[in-house]
Structure formats: structure tokens, C-alpha cells
Amino acid sequence: MSGTDPAASAMAQDRDRLVRQVSDAVRARDIPLATDLARGALERGLVHPLFLGLRAFWFDDQGRTREALADIETAIGLAPQDAPLRNSHGQILSSAGRWDEAVEAFERCVALRPDFAPAYRNLGYARQGIGDLRGSAQAFEQAYQLAPEDAEPLSHLANLAARRSDWESARKFAEQALAADPRQSLALVTLASVAVSTGDRAGADALIGSALGDAKLAGPHRAMMLTTLGDLRHDQQRYSEAFEAYRQSNELRRQLYAPQFAAPGRETAASFAQILIDFMERAPPLHWRASDAEGEGNTAVRAHVFLIGFARSGTTLLENVLAAHPDVAAVGEKELLATANEQYLSTDKGLDLLAAATEDRLSQLRRDYWRRAEGHCGPLAGKVFVDKRPMGALKLPLIVKLFPSAKILFALRDPRDVILSCYRRQFLLNPSMYELLDLRGAALFYGQLMRLAKIFRARSGLQWLETRHESLVADFDGEMARVLAFLGLEWSEQLRAFAETARQRDIWTPSSTQVIKGLNAEGVEQWRHYREQLAPAMPILRPWIDAFGYERF
């Protein structure tokens, strides 16, 4: 018996009709209508890549990342040659902070469509996320070449130039972007930042005042401009006004990104840190005590070092000093544990799975880690390999299980300067950095990570050395001698030239412009200017100020 199933034929016709309607809505830029139609179609069992892609973004807006990725990956399975779907995949991964995977998604997209400018622009942003600033600049340059009418890549090129203190290039790109499109507020923010950094206070004041007076200034760029205003007022020693500008910036960012990082029922970095603390306090010590693991995946390295602490504790400075040593390979803040993170640190069940992980599985994860490391640094034979992780206490369960022979360099800085500096800087947001947008929340999160570090230091048996930012600034030779002895390295005069070496490296943290200035005490005891403003955080920080031997007020 032959013939077409009438019901299936009717469904196909209905789906095709809806595809046309959704496509028309997308072309008319009525995305809410297009999304409602797509969701309705899928609920009726009418599956199409266009519908899945739209619902994926709807899920992503709700903070439902897993469902968003499931939809977009199903859509790609149905239409593997569809470059816009690949681009959407990368955008969802970017919003989840899974930068390594986002880069791969965008690279697949541009391989399919080398003329697709939006994917190059998104690739540039994602490469910033993994700290590949040169690769980011190349992607933005390609996006501009493909679509010179789009001034956004020029704005990003200006911002990247400012981050490496190339003020002339930053100004040039920003002015080009604004000439092409006066609405490029990132370019305007960069011009204001250049003016502050080069001492043009009057010019900075005029730019900032004009920008903040524009009701159409986009929220994220308004927050950036407020931070720039804070920097200007700090430079003018108008500290209470500076703090107020930082407060307004952070409050605005908290509101803008709450749906992504603080939606009801969503696990936050602080709640995860507490899960780790509770787990470690009840876990059998043998599960988390360093033991001799055969090989650990790369026996050719001279030593394996994790440089951890808290954001703004001096890890970037110390890493760049070490990177100047001829026998050191330093990777920067590249995510080398992505596979292990996804399996063991993304759900509340993961820690139990990690505690029971077989040696075969751990060996696979070690190979993945070293493959990523050598992809960034090249051959590591004979090198001391430094993996910098400012919030690395959250990764200590993985470090202990995977690399029991690793050494821990733990960076300390006066907790008051740490929290103030975190509050003053604009980080690329992820769950951990979102915690820093509230002064008291930042202090609480600091305490959690210090407690985690204390627990792991006592229980793990890892080799551990505390190093102080203030000691490095005050006595460079003496502090570096301690660090080098711990790492099994001899002194090298090249260490003194770290600032020049740093100019050749990708430094994507807010410390970049400070590190390439060389050694200075600018960041020491800045908290004294903000005694009154720091008062809400002091009861939380005081135990750690005492524990680490920093004087009180």
C-alpha cells in the first residue's frame, strides 16, 4: 500500500507555514513574536532548526543554559552547515562563560562562512574571554575588513589597545569608531579612560560628563563610564566621590546581570563555595590527601605550580615576574580544566563523583589538561609550568585529585586592599566576579575562599608557600629568592626586566596596565583613603586581617 500519511502531510504544511511566519517576524526584527511562534510550534511537536534556535536564546535569557544548549545542539544536528546556528551556539556558550568552547564554536562558524562578519566579531570577544588578546584583535580586524560599515570592531580594537597602555592606538581606533558611528559608547568610554590615564583631567571630565548626561547611553557602557569617573575622582584625591561613582557602577551592573548570575534558584559562586566548604568539612580526609599518582600526565615538566589567591591579590604581577625566567612557562588565566570542571564542579553531585573517580578517568583528564597547556605554551619539557588561578581555591578539589605533586603558590595582599581593588575594577563577569559587585558580598566571598584554602592546606598535604604582594614590592630580591627556592629555580637577572617581557604577553586582567609599568607601590594601603566606605566589610575581613598579620585601623 502506498501514499502519503495525511496527518504527517498536514503537519509538514503547518510547519512550513510557521517557518515562513517566523522568518518574516525575524526579518521585521520582531524577535518576541518570532520566539513566541517558535515556542508554540515546538510545543505542538513541529521541529525545525529555526524554532530551536529561537527557543535556545529564550532559554538562555531565562538562565536555563542546559536547555538552551540542548536546543541549539539539536538544531545544529539537523542543519550542520548552517553558520548562523553555529554562531548562536557560540553566543550561548559565551553567556555561560564557557569561553574555550565558545571559541571553538565561532571558529567552526567562520570555517563554514569565511565572509560572516558577525561571527568574527563574536570570536574576538570570546578570545578575550580565554585571554588571547592578540587573537581577539585579529578577529576584530577581520570583522572590520568584512563589514567596514560596522564600527563596533573598531571600538573593541580601541579598548584592547588601552589595556596594553598603547594610548595612541587606543585614541586613533576610538576616534575612527566614533567618526563612523557616534553611538559607539565603548569607544567613548575608551577615550575617557585614555584621558584619565594620560593625565588629561579636564578632557576626561568633559567626556565623562557629556556621556553620563546622555539618557541613551547603554547600561553596560554607563557602568564602564561610571568606573572611569571613579578613577578620575580617585586621581583627583576626591575619594568619597570616587567611591560613590564605583558604587553606582557596581549597582548598575548587579541589576543588569542579575538574571544571568542571580536568578531565583540559580547556584551562585558563593553558594557553590559554601557547598565546597560543607563537603570538605565532612569528607573523609583520605579522599583529599595528596598521594603519588603515577605520571600525572606530563613527567617532562620540571615542576608544576598553581598560583592561586583571590582576585587583585598580586597574582598577575607575580606570574609576569616568573614568566621572565628562562626556565618558566606561564600560561596566564587560560582554562585548562574545562573538561574536569564540567564533569565534577558543575552540579552538586560532582564532588562525590570526583572523590570516587577511577585512576583511568583521572588520567584522561590529566591528558586533556596537558594537551591544552601545550596548545597555549608549546613544549613544556624541562620547564617549571605556572598555572595562574586567582580564584583557584574553588578548583582545589580538582588540583588535589589530578595533580597531587603540584606546588601551590598562595598570593596574599592586605584583605582591605583586595576588596577595595575588586570593587574599583571592571571584570569580565562570571559567577565569581559577580559576587564582587557588592562590597559586603565581596568580603563574604573572600572569607569563604580563604576558609577553603585553609581547609585544603591542612588536609591535602600539597606543597604550599604563601607569598605577599607587599613583600614583593618592598623587597623584590628577597621575596623572589623565597619563591624561587620553593620552585627549585636559580636566580635570573631577567626577572628584573619583567615589565618589558609583560608587554609581549597577553594580560587580559585589569592589572595589565599596572604590570607593564614595572614594580611600584601604588596599590599598597589604598584602603586608608576609603576607611569610612569600607566599614560595612570590616567585621567580615577583620579575622583574616589578623590571621595574615596585617595591622588593623
Q: What is the CATH number of the domain that holds 119?
A: 1.25.40.10
Q: Say if 160 falls within a structural domain.
A: no
Say if residue 66 is in the same domain as residue 139.
no
* CB 89, CB 76: distance < 8 Å: yes
Angle, in degrees to the nearest 10, between helices 65-78 and 83-95: 170
pLDDT of residue 294: 46
Say if residue 250 is in the same domain as residue 395.
no
Say if residue 224 is in the same domain as residue 362.
no
Say if residue 66 is in the same domain as residue 91.
no
Segment 258-281 mean pLDDT: 88
Q: What is the mean pLDDT of the chain?
A: 90
Q: Say if 15 falls within a structural domain.
A: no
User: CA 339, 313, 101 angle in degrees (round to 5)?
Assistant: 20
Q: pLDDT (tens digit, 9 = 90+) per residue, 139-192? A: 999 999 999 999 999 999 999 999 888 899 999 999 999 999 998 999 999 999
Segment 507-529 mean pLDDT: 68
Residue 429, classified by CB atoms within 10 Å of its CB into exposed (0-12), middle (13-18) or buried (19+), is: middle
pLDDT of residue 290: 59
Q: CA distances (Å), 243 to each of 199, 203, 235, in order?
A: 20, 21, 12
CATH number, domain containing residue 403: 3.40.50.300
CATH number, domain containing residue 192: 1.25.40
Number of domains, the chain: 4
Q: Say if 352 falls within a structural domain.
A: yes
pLDDT of residue 202: 94
Angle, in degrees to the nearest 10, between helices 117-129 and 83-95: 30
Beta-ladder partners of 306: 387, 408
Q: pLDDT (tens digit, 9 = 90+) per residue, 205-250? A: 999 999 999 998 999 999 999 999 999 999 999 999 999 999 999 9
Say if residue 70 is in the same domain as residue 101.
no
Higher pLDDT, 388 or 100: 388
Say if residue 68 is in the same domain as residue 88.
no
Burial 243-262 (b: 16+ CB within 10 A, else e): bbbbbbbbebbbebbeebbb
Say if residue 386 is in the same domain as residue 533.
yes
Segment 319-328 mean pLDDT: 93
* CB 421, CB 526: distance < 8 Å: yes
Please spell the DSSP secondary structure of 171-235, one letter per residue.
Answer: HHHHHHHHHH-TT-HHHHHHHHHHHHHTT-HHHHHHHHHHHHT-TTS-HHHHHHHHHHHHHHHHH
Last-in-domain residue among 150, 169, 190: 150
Residues in the chain: 553
Q: How many CB atoms lie within 10 A of CB 438?
A: 18
Q: Say if 2 falls within a structural domain.
A: no
Q: Say if 161 falls within a structural domain.
A: no
Say if residue 280 is in the same domain as residue 389.
yes
Q: pLDDT (tens digit, 9 = 90+) per residue, 429-456? A: 889 999 999 999 999 999 999 999 999 9
Residue linked to cell 590527601: 289
Say if residue 127 is in the same domain as residue 59.
no
Q: Say if 14 falls within a structural domain.
A: no
* Torsions phi, psi for 65 (to 5 deg): -65, -45
Q: CA distances (Å), 151 to each of 30, 109, 158, 215, 358, in order?
A: 24, 22, 11, 21, 52
Q: Which residues constitute the domain of residue 503?
A: 269-289+298-547
Last-in-domain residue among 41, 62, 79: 79
Say if residue 388 is in the same domain as residue 356.
yes
CA dihedral 510, 514, 520, 521 (to 10 degrees): -30
Q: Say if 162 falls within a structural domain.
A: no
pLDDT of residue 517: 56
The secondary structure of the chain in percent helix, strand, coil, rounded to multiples of 5, reads 65, 5, 30
- Tell me the three cell numbers of residue 13: 504544511
Please spell the DSSP secondary structure of 448-517, one letter per residue.
Answer: HHHHHHHHHHHHH--EEEEEEHHHHHH-HHHHHHHHHHHHT----GGGGGHHHHHHTS---STTHHHHTT
pTM for this model (two decimals): 0.84
Say if residue 366 is in the same domain as residue 400.
yes
Q: Say if 313 falls within a structural domain.
A: yes
Say if residue 362 is in the same domain as residue 452.
yes
Cα 452–chain centre separation: 21
Residue 99 has pLDDT above 70, yes or no: yes
Rounded CA-CA distance 379/370 in Å is 10
